[in-house]
Every structure is written in structure tokens, then in C-alpha cells.
Structure 1
Amino acid sequence: MESDEPRRKGPTRREYVQLGGALAAAGLVAGCAGSADGDGSATATPTDAATPTADATAEPTATPADDGPYSVSMSPVGEVTFESPPETVFTRLTHHADMAFALGRGDDVTAMHAPDYYDALWNQFVERLPGVSLDWTGLYSSWDPDKEVVYELDSDVHLADPAWVTQLDSWDRDDVGEIAENVGPWFGNSLSDRHTEATGEWADGYEYYTLWEQFELVAEAFRERPRYEELAAVRDELLATIEAGLPPEDERPRAVMFSSADLETIYAYTLDNPGFLTAHTRPLAPRDAFDGSVSSGDTVDYETLLEADPDVILYLGGMLPTTDMAEVRSTLESHPVGGEITAVANGRVHPQGARYQGPILNLFQLEMCAKQLYPDAFGAWPTYENGPYPEIPAEEQLFDRQRVAAAIRGEVE
């Protein structure tokens, strides 16, 4: 980044659509094959911390001056020096893409995993942010990125975790070093998703961050601390509202989350395991209907679900435009075993968005889960069949959409 003057390196996003579109389908297939995550984000090997001691403390090291080089540290890459704030952003997973979006850089993303899939999903929520738009369609699908394409994208920063990238057969430590030297630095952490162990050369000293700790460091890298502070304040107020309204533990519902493409093969997920994949459910502390007998990502049958007999089912993928929640509920109700599950019988099967969430999706998903799990405390979640995130009356909203939208637009002091 040789100059502070606005410029865009290499081809623009729209100029790159033809190549990105041609490779996106292949990337999506490769990324989702064998996935048990149910939100379009496959897991190769590779879930915010249960206690403060489980996470590294985020300590931004950006210099206070507005001009000239500055440094920010994040595990696993350590200290990274920026000549100027990045303008183009390579990502793999959506927690990083959402961070760029939250900092007003949504249109500067050059690559991400399954871009059309996640563009459709994210826009279900963006619909409720006035004056904000998002378009990730046609980007290069970067689940297993081709190094030559990464060169051609010529991104200022790679919000991706090199410790995860080097788990791919096509990448090694020399490859990520080459890209950092010749294109732009790596500055991402993904193994904090479920506190997955780093492997090889990355194993020693790998640190885990909560979603918002990592977002703070990314904001420092982009010199966007005011945006971060405003959004973090919204989140703090939302968590305070949730904490004040939670009923005693013995009055909380027994819950499960699962995904299924056909409502036959069912992937179950626990709601309180460490990592940012549960950043929207762990603060709400529902009781685990499986009582610890099922690990996150396990396949279960209907008999196992009935034995667990949850009061609430959170259906991962239910917020996708292609999902009809009325049909999901009808299918479960008509199943000879599924229909006997308390959550199904009582109409408490609710949609979910994505577990690889960034700060914006986290705010919406905290609100929706609070209403789905505790309607008496936080107001009932509207009966949802499909379409954008429901319009909730202002007096029943748990966070201020206008305030979030203004932060994304950069209208902060």
C-alpha cells in the first residue's frame, strides 16, 4: 500500500466477475462436500469462549497517528504493519466478510466462500438496515483458493487464517508467506470458531479470540475504531438486556439446533461449546436437551430427538430465501416420530441464519434467539415462513437498527 490516496489495485470487483463466476461453482461444491455445518460452510478439520480465561485478550497495537505506517497484532500471524488502511479485502469465511461489511467495506470484498449463497442469506438481514446495501454476488469462491487467482485479485489484505489455509492440500507455509510478501498480509483467525487445535508449525502459541475481540483487531487494521466502538456499544446494551431478562436456569427451555437438507439426515449442534459459532446462543444459556450425550456436528435420528424431547428446535438454514419454514414444520409434524417431539407439537420450530457470523449477523441472531427461546421475557418471535428478517415493532426490538446502519455507513463521531 504505497499511497494514502484512494485507489484500487488490479481488476475491480465487477471486472473480475467473469473469472469469479466460472470458478465459484467449483469452489462451492468443494467447500460443501461432506459438510455437517448446515449453513453452507463446510469444515475440513475445523467452534466464543465459555469463560474469560479461555480466550486470549485482544490488545490492539495500532499506533495513534493518522498518517504513516501502523501495526496491529493478531494470532496466528503476529504483528502486521500496514502502510495505509486496506481498500480491497480477500476473505474465506463469512465471519470475516461480515466484519468488512460492518466497517463499511462490504463492496471491497474480492473473494469469499460460496458468495451467492451467503449474499442471499445476509441480505435477509440487511433488508432491515435502512440505507445499507450489500452485493457479494459473482465474487470468486475462495474455499480452496488458487494461488494464481489470489495474485490476480491483488487484495490489500487477506482476512483469512493461514493456519487453516495451510491445512489445504494445495497450500503450505511457503505459499502463504509468498502471498504476504508479494500481494498483501494475512490477518485472520478462524480456528477460534470452535477452539480447534492448530496443526504443524502453527500449533505453538495459537490464541483464541471471541468474535468481538477479533472484530476489534480487524477494525484497528482498517483504522475504523469509531465504527467498532459504536457497534460494540450496541452489542453491550443488547447483552445487558438479555442478562436482565433471563429467567432462572430451571425455568429455561431445553433446546437443540439442527440442520438437514432433506429432514432425514439430521446434523445436531450444541449451543454452549466454546468458540464464536455459538456467540448467539451461549449468552442465552438454554438447557441442552441432549444433556451432553451428543457432540456438535453429530448425526442423530428422530428417535434420538424424541428421547431428548426439546422444548425448542432451532433450524439452521431456515433463514435462507430458498427455505420454506412452513414446509419444514409440516414435514416434522407429519413424521410418525418427529410429530411427537414437544417443540414440533407446540409450534416452536424456529429458523436460524449462520453460525459463521460476524458482528452484524450476531446482533440479529442474538435478538431472534432471545425471542425464540424466551418469548415471555423478550417478546414473541413472529411466525416466520420465508422472506427477509421479520419487521418487528420498534418498541419490541432489542437493538436499534438505525444506529447499526449509521455505524456501517460511517455516520459516527
Structure 2
Amino acid sequence: MDSNETTDTTGTIERETPTRRETITYGGAVALGGLLAGCIGGGDGDEGDSSADGATENGSTDDSSTDDDSEESQTEDDAEESYTASISPTGAVTFESPPETVFTRLTHHADMAFALGRGDDVTALHAPDYYDGLWNQYVERLPGVSLDWSGLYSSWEPDKEKLYDLDSDIHLADPAWVTQLEGWGREDIDEIAENVSPWFGNSLSDRHQEPTPEWADGYEYYGLWEQFEIVARAFDENERYEALAEVREGLLSTIDERLPPEEERPTAVMIAAADIEQIYAYTLSNPGFLTSHTRPLGPRDAFERSVKSGTVVDFETILEADPDVILYLGGMEPGTDMAGRRTAFEEDPVGSEVTAVRNDRVHPQGARYQGPILNLFQIEMTAKQLYPDEFGAWPRYEEGPYPEIPEGERLFDRGRVADGINGDL
């Protein structure tokens, strides 16, 4: 707890002195309840009120007002530097300065912070050691870029008092999802926003989940890069976003130019299994950012949408679908025995009959909750896994970092991505 906090008899934490983040204000129709009073309105670039001119009551000025003039001028300068960003479900938030420390819950937000040069400023995320290992498999291929999320607070079920301790400048997390957790209500969301820092995240866009009734009015869904652009505004990092978005546009253009006709595309399934006895199947083209790396590639769903995302399947179900390609989620994580996962299929009398297994087309994937950096790599790797004749073969991966793809077979420029992260624009 900070030295400027006290606890009243009801247990509510109050601040005796303002922090630099207490100037952050909310606006908009879906802004958090109770925080509209005194907010600064307007859209991006809102400069606030700059009408003060240092005049005396009779309209004249004299030397005695010099100090006051200086203070008012400074206030005007500060107002001119403020900016506003807006995201559903939070609404508009005005920032006096870019956030420096970042709370996240899910990795699509942590990756956004990383992409904007704030990877080392993240204070929390879900399963930090696991995702630190997974992300660094890809970061290995970005020259001059490093990332360390190990040992951070694991925020899958965040504790409110811990958010006070972390004292982050922004909470990149969806309040509509957080309030679904035990011990969190709308009043807790408002308390953290008022006493610590704003919420500024959207997670139900993952697969267009329905929010609870209290958040349903006006809730919007965003594509991954659409949300990344909005988050970049919150950090006043539009140039970084534009540099990375340009790389993505080039990657998608390459994909579109060389993608085979639909009837010539392979059938595929995406699965995950910590234990091969319990296999989860995931869809490839449903709305939401969880499929933002497979949807642009247009593979045919071997399950033909007969299996819902997250359904437990067995070898018999997979053989019935008989995919040409199996995409194995988590296969790139350092602790995953990818060779052992393939062997489990190959040694099973049913699994061994699957076309993807017989043709050695069981390939690793990274994570569904991907941010922009992981998305670039996953589009490239999945393109090679699905269409080796068009985009170059994907190496038979068993362990280690993302394979070193020959420069002529890369679908995006690693150096340009590294420059965007490092701010070398």
C-alpha cells in the first residue's frame, strides 16, 4: 500500500493526496458508473480548456501576476498535451501522459504492450512463466529485442488489494470479463478505476462472447489489429502502431496473392491437449481474434462446424473428420514434448490412420490469445504448414525457438518488426 493511502473503518482504501493518475478522466455513454462528474469530454486530441489569460479582475495585468501567469501557462501546456482514447466497454478516457506501467490479464493485451515498447513495463498477466517461455520462442527471431515476464503476478483471478499494490498506470483488461469473476462487482471496477488507474481493454471480442446484462448495452467487438490501434492511442504510440500495421498489410497481401482456390485448400483441425487422453478441438474461422491467424488463410474445417470450439474429442472423432493437417496449440511452448505428441498419434491404432498423421503434417501452434507480434509469426507459420508449395515448407519442429526461416522464404521482415517495437521509426 502506498504511503498516501489510508483505510477507513469500512475497509475502503482512500487516498489522502492525489497521484499523477487522478487526472485521468472518463467520458462517453458507456463510461464507468460514477466517474462522469468532472470529466474532460471530446475525442482524440481533446485539448481541454485553455481560456485562462492571467488578467486581473479589472481586466489589466501587472507584475504581481507573473507567478500566477506562469502557473496558468503551465496548466494550459499540460492540457494541450492531454489526449483521449476510447474503447468498449469503458468508453472515453483522457490521459495527461502516456501510461508507464501496465496491468494485463490475458496475453493479447500483454503482447500489445510489448509491441508498443512496454513489454518490460507489464506488472501482471495470466501464467507469466508459461507465456514468458512461449513468447520468447518467437522473440528469439527479432534482432535487438528482449522480453522478460517471468515471476510477474499471475492475474487470471486478480485480487483487488493486489491491484492497489501493483499501482499500475493502466489496466489493459476487460472490466466486463473481470466482473464475471468471483469477488468482483461493478463497484470494485469503479473503485480501482478511481483510486488506481483506468480499465482499458476488450476481451469478449475473442470469440464474440455475450457480456452480462450490465455491460450489454453498446458493447462492441473488435478485430485484433483494430483493438491494437485503439490501445496504441491510449499510449500515444500511433507511429509504432502504423509501422507494425504496415508489416501486417504486406503479409496479408502476400497471402491473398498466393492463396490457392478454396477447392484446392487442405482440410484442417486445431487441437490442444495437456494430456493426450483429453483433446480439445477449436474452430478455425469463427468470428473473433482467436482465429485471426487461421481465418485469413481459409483452410477447410475438417469438422465441418459439427464440433464447437472447446469440445473434447477423441481419436475416433478426429479420424472421422480425417483432416489433412493438424494444428497443435501450445506445441511451441518450451515444456511441450511435440515429438511425444506426434508419437502418441502414430502409436495409436486409430490415431495412426488420420491422414495428417500418415503424411507427417501434425504441426505446432503458439497461443490463441495472441497479440500483434505473435499474430505475425503465427500467420507466417500457419501459411507454411497449410500451403508449403505456395509459401515454403515449415520445418519439422520438435523443440527450440521459432525455426530460422531462410530470408528468401520469410513472409515478413523481422527487422522492421524489431524496429517498430524498439521505436526506431
Give the one of 366, 387, 390 matched to 1:353.
Answer: 366
CA distance in 1, matches of 2:314, 2:132: 31
CA distance in 1, matches of 2:154, 2:275: 25
CA apart distance, 1:324: 2.2
CA distance in 2, matches of 1:307, 1:114: 35
Give the secondary-structure state (helix, strand or coil) at the position aligned to 1:104: helix
CA distance in 1, matches of 2:313, 2:157: 29
1:185 and 2:198 matched: yes
Query: Are the aligned partners of 1:116 and 1:137 in contact in 2 as well (CA < 8 Å)?
Result: yes
TM-score by length of 2: 0.82
Rg larger in structure: 2
Give the secondary-structure state (helix, strand or coil) at the position aligned to 2:81: coil
Map 1:159-178 → 2, pairs under 5 A:
159-178=172-191
1:62 and 2:44 matched: yes
Match of 1:39 in 2: none
Match of 1:120 in 2: 133
CA apart distance, 1:353: 0.2
CA distance in 2, matches of 1:133, 1:320: 17
Decide whether aligned partners of structure 1 residues 340 and 239 sit closer, same or farther in structure 2, where only a CA change above 3 A counts: same
Map 1:128-207 → 2, pairs under 5 A:
128-207=141-220
Query: Are the aligned partners of 1:10 and 1:153 in contact in 2 as well (CA < 8 Å)?
Result: no
Match of 2:27 in 1: none
Superposition CA RMSD, Å: 1.5
Match of 2:97 in 1: 84
CA distance in 2, matches of 1:311, 1:195: 28
Query: Are the aligned partners of 2:325 and 2:362 in contact in 1 as well (CA < 8 Å)?
Result: yes
Match of 2:110 in 1: 97
Q: Which amino acid aligns with 2:370?
A: Q
Give the one of 333, 337, 341 matched to 2:354.
Answer: 341
CA distance in 2, matches of 1:180, 1:64: 21
The structure, 1 or 2, with the larger RCO (C-alpha pairs under 8 Å, 6+ apart) is: 1
Query: Are the aligned partners of 2:267 and 2:299 in contact in 1 as well (CA < 8 Å)?
Result: yes
Query: Are the aligned partners of 2:46 and 2:84 in contact in 1 as well (CA < 8 Å)?
Result: no
Match of 2:227 in 1: 214
CA apart distance, 1:263: 1.2
How many equivalent residue pairs?
356
Match of 1:296 in 2: 309
CA apart distance, 1:276: 0.2
Which portions of structure 1, spanning 4 or more consecutive aligned residues, are displaced by more than 6 angstroms?
Answer: none
Query: Are the aligned partners of 1:317 and 1:354 in contact in 2 as well (CA < 8 Å)?
Result: yes
Q: Which amino acid aligns with 2:44?
A: A
Give the secondary-structure state (helix, strand or coil) at the position aligned to 2:342: helix
CA distance in 2, matches of 1:381, 1:151: 46
Give the one of 244, 267, 274 matched to 1:254.
Answer: 267
Match of 1:309 in 2: 322
Deviations 1:30-64 (A, max 9, x none): xxxxxxxxxxxxxxxxxxxxxxxxxxxxxx94218
Match of 2:65 in 1: none
CA apart distance, 1:10: 6.6
Match of 2:378 in 1: 365
CA apart distance, 1:68: 2.5
Q: Unaligned stretches of 5+ in structure 1?
A: 1-8, 12-59
Deviations 1:74-126 (A, max 9, x none): 00001011111000100000000000000000011011111001000000000
Give the one of 251, 255, 274 matched to 1:242.
Answer: 255
CA distance in 1, matches of 2:279, 2:181: 27
Deviations 1:205-242 (A, max 9, x none): 10000000000010001010110000000000000000
CA distance in 1, matches of 2:243, 2:196: 32
Give the one of 327, 332, 336 matched to 1:323.
Answer: 336
Q: Unaligned stretches of 5+ in structure 2?
A: 4-41, 48-77
Q: Which amino acid aligns with 2:359?
A: N
Q: Which amino acid aligns with 2:189?
A: V
Give the secondary-structure state (helix, strand or coil) at the position aligned to 1:105: helix
CA distance in 1, matches of 2:197, 2:339: 46
Map 1:39-50 → 2, pairs under 5 A:
none
Q: Which amino acid aligns with 2:233?
A: E
Match of 1:400 in 2: 413
TM-score by length of 1: 0.84
CA distance in 2, matches of 1:259, 1:145: 25
Q: Which amino acid aligns with 1:193?
A: D
CA distance in 1, matches of 2:126, 2:2: 21
Decide whether aligned partners of structure 1 residues 381 and 10 sit closer, same or farther in structure 2, where only a CA change above 3 A counts: farther
Deviations 1:365-391 (A, max 9, x none): 000000000000000001111110000
Q: Which amino acid aligns with 1:111?
A: A
Query: Are the aligned partners of 2:46 and 2:82 in contact in 1 as well (CA < 8 Å)?
Result: no
Query: Are the aligned partners of 2:270 and 2:282 in contact in 1 as well (CA < 8 Å)?
Result: yes
Decide whether aligned partners of structure 1 residues 86 and 10 sit closer, same or farther in structure 2, where only a CA change above 3 A counts: farther
Query: Are the aligned partners of 1:311 and 1:342 in contact in 2 as well (CA < 8 Å)?
Result: yes
